[in-house]
Amino acid sequence: MTCDDSRPFFHAYLDGELDAMQAAEFGRHMESCSACGRAVQALESLRSSMQNAQLREPLPVGFERKIRSELDAASQPASSWKLTPWRLLAAAALLLLAIGGSWKFAQRTRDNGDVSVTAADAAAVELVDAHIRALQPGHLTDVTSTDQHTVKPWFDGRTAFAPPVRDFAAQDFPLVGGRLDVFQGHTVAALVYGRRKHFISVFIWPDATQNAEQYAGAMNGYQWISWKQSGLRFCAVADTSRDDLAALKDLISR
Amino acid sequence: MDTLNPGKRTDVLPVQDREHFDQLVLPHLRAAFNLARWLLRSREDAEDVTQEALLRAFRFFSGFHGSDARAWLLQIVRNTCYTWMEKSRPMNSAVEFDESLHLSPLPGPEAQALAGSERERLAKGLEQLSPRSREVIVLRELEGCSYKEIASITAMPIGTVMSTLARARERLQQLLGSSGTKEAVHDL
């Protein structure tokens, strides 16, 4: 074995990855060649200084506990979500509106009497309702953070899709946090943005249908706007102006 | 037609797998965090990414039938790190490297006195390597993984693991030999 032959074996030798034959051959060469011996020695000293330097990073205090509680939350089936009683109220509200006021929505949004517009409106009622419900103290966010890197991982494991989470504080739509909500019996992600003294809920869920239509409407002083983007349906709801919602929509879809 | 109908739920997580997951995967939390910390060169980012990776691992856990839970977890951590780096690349490259932000202090004052400056020197060298070189060094020297394990974690052939490790060590020797140079060094 020559020095050139032995060179590729330095590391495997050092790491104990040579088989018996290779090791024996390499060992014989080491005995006769001081240059290769020194090279291996230098690598050995690099390795031992790395091991002595305690480079292996210790876990942050409380980190394992945090992970365990995240896993606890992820282990819970979503059907046990705490807003269940509110769902009943929302359903009741929807029923009332369907009986008493469906003509109003169809008339307001479009004149063509398209059934889907009415359905979109009906769905929006539920989302507006969810938004109003969330404005009750303590219901706005499950994870409160202006940091998108905190909010985004929070959704991981709670939803089967990854909602795009970005902070738009620079554009005057600061991220406030996120929560889970239930809409038509399914878990949806809700992002909360601030707008001056108001809050905007942006509901997000996967939409496998071909429908990429944009919808907008208003009810009881609340505006809503719904659009589709990369397989997800978005619906932003707030008591701010329609222009504010459109501006936020532009930021999100940028 | 119901236009605002959310998709079917598929994210109900297997409660019965939780105990199994805790036994097999959680013991490797420190290895996961350590890999993320060195790949991302930041403890704070490593916390986020490790958390994300563990939740992801839990979600995929029903698909894990192998025998090496550590390699399986580290593979997920590694992928999550690369995705994260990909996403935050423009932001990161604009920020000049500041070692005081990235080097965490050691637990005790004695340990620090003992290994402090040497640790700092080695850590600085390690952080100057490319991520591909850094990960093989971390897996080999800090986690004690075999070539085979490194190959399965990084999805590289064993021959490539060996040559990457060789290049990484030689580069690290160079960097440590000429430590104190301020020029930006790009490995490989």
What does the pLDDT look like over A79-112, one tens digit per residue?
Answer: 444 445 556 566 666 666 555 443 333 334 444 4
**Residue A105 covered by a domain:** yes
Name, of A70-74, B8-12, B175-179, the range with top average pLDDT. A70-74
Average pLDDT over residues A212-238: 88
Give the ipTM: 0.76
Is residue A47 domain-shared with residue A145, that is, in the same domain?
no
How many Å lie between the alpha carbon of A22 and the closest alpha carbon of chain B?
A: 15
CB-based contact B119 A124, cutoff 8 Å: no
pLDDT of B178 higher than 60: no
- C-alpha span between A107 and A184 (Å, rounded): 24
Interface of A with B in 41-100 (CB under 8 A): 42-43, 46-47, 49-60, 63-64, 66-68, 70-71, 74-78
Q: Is A178 exposed, middle or buried (0-12, 13-18, 19+ CB in 10 A)?
A: buried
| Residues A135, A196 share a domain | yes
| Least-confidence region, from A67-76, A216-225, B14-23 | B14-23
Find the CATH number of the domain harbouring A226: 3.30.200.100
**Which pLDDT tens digit goes with each residue over B15-29?**
557 888 998 999 999
Q: Are residues A146 and A29 in the same domain?
A: no
pLDDT at A119: 67
Optimal mutation site among A17, A51, A57, interface B, most CBs of chain B within 10 A: A57
Whether residue B149 is predicted with pLDDT greater than 60 in this model: the reply is: yes
Same domain? For A31 and A112 the reply is no
Chain B residues inside the 8 Å CB shell of A50: 122, 137, 141-142
Q: Is residue A140 located within the same domain as residue A183?
A: yes
Q: Are residues A222 and A111 in the same domain?
A: yes
For a pLDDT cut of 90, what percent of chain B falls above it? 53
Max Cα distance, chain B (Å): 71
pLDDT at res. A102: 38
**Domain membership of residue A39 as a residue range:** 3-52
A75 located within any domain: no
Taking residues B3-23, report their average pLDDT.
58
pLDDT digit string (tens) for A45-69? 999 998 888 899 999 999 999 999 9
Are B69 and B25 a contacting pair, CB within 8 Å? yes
Q: Give the residues across from A227 on adjacent strands.
A: A234
Averaged pLDDT for residues B142-163:
93
If one counts the domains in chain A, the total is 2
Residue B94 pLDDT > 50 = no
In tens, the pLDDT along A166-182 reads: 999 999 999 988 988 87
Match 């932001």 to its residue by tokens. Answer: B91
Confidence band for A19, pLDDT divided at 50, 70 and 90: confident
Q: Are residues A28 and A123 in the same domain?
A: no
Determine the Cα–Cα distance for residues A109 and A121; give it in Å rounded to an integer. 8
What is the pLDDT at residue B135?
96
| Residue A183 backbone dihedrals phi, psi, to 5 degrees | -135, 125
Provide the pLDDT confidence category of residue B5 given band limits of 50, 70 and 90. Answer: very low
User: Residue B49's pLDDT is what?
Assistant: 95
Please indicate if any CB of chain A lies within 8 Å of the CB of B37.
yes
The DSSP code sequence of B118-131 is HHHHHHHHHHHS-H
In a domain, A167, yes or no: yes
For residue A213, pLDDT over 70 is answered with yes
Structure tokens at A219: 């009810």
- Is residue A143 within 8 Å of residue A179, measured between CB atoms? yes
Q: State the pLDDT at residue B1.
A: 41
- Look at B162 and A70 and tell me if their CB atoms are within 8 Å: no
> End-to-end distance of chain B based on CA atoms, in angstroms?
57
Predicted confidence (pLDDT) at residue B109 exceeds the cutoff of 60: no
In whole angstroms, give the CA distance from residue B119 to residue B102: 13
The string of pLDDT tens digits covering residues A180-211 is: 887 777 788 999 999 888 899 999 998 888 88
Highest mean pLDDT, choosing among A147-151, B86-90, B125-129: B125-129
pLDDT of residue B188: 41
Q: Which of A74-78, A137-141, A193-197 has the highest mean pLDDT?
A: A193-197
Shared domain for A132 and A40, answered yes or no, is: no
What residue of B is the nearest CA neighbor of A126?
Answer: B4
Domains recognised in chain B with CATH numbers: 14-98 (1.10.1740.10), 112-180 (1.10.10.10)
Indicate if A173 and A242 belong to the same structural domain. Answer: yes
Higher confidence at residue A234 or residue A75?
A: A234
- The phi and psi torsions of A237 (rounded to 5 degrees) equal -130, 135
List the single residue in A with minimal CA-CA distance to B102: A57
Q: How confident is the model at residue B183 (pLDDT cuts 50, 70, 90)?
A: very low
B137 φ, ψ to 5°? -65, -45
Q: Say whether both A39 and A96 belong to one domain.
A: no
* Inside any domain, residue A12: yes
Whether residues B34 and A57 touch (CB distance < 8 A) is answered with: yes
Same domain for A98 and A12: no
Instruction: Output the average pLDDT for chain A.
Output: 80
Residues A47 and A101 in one domain: no
Average pLDDT, chain B: 78
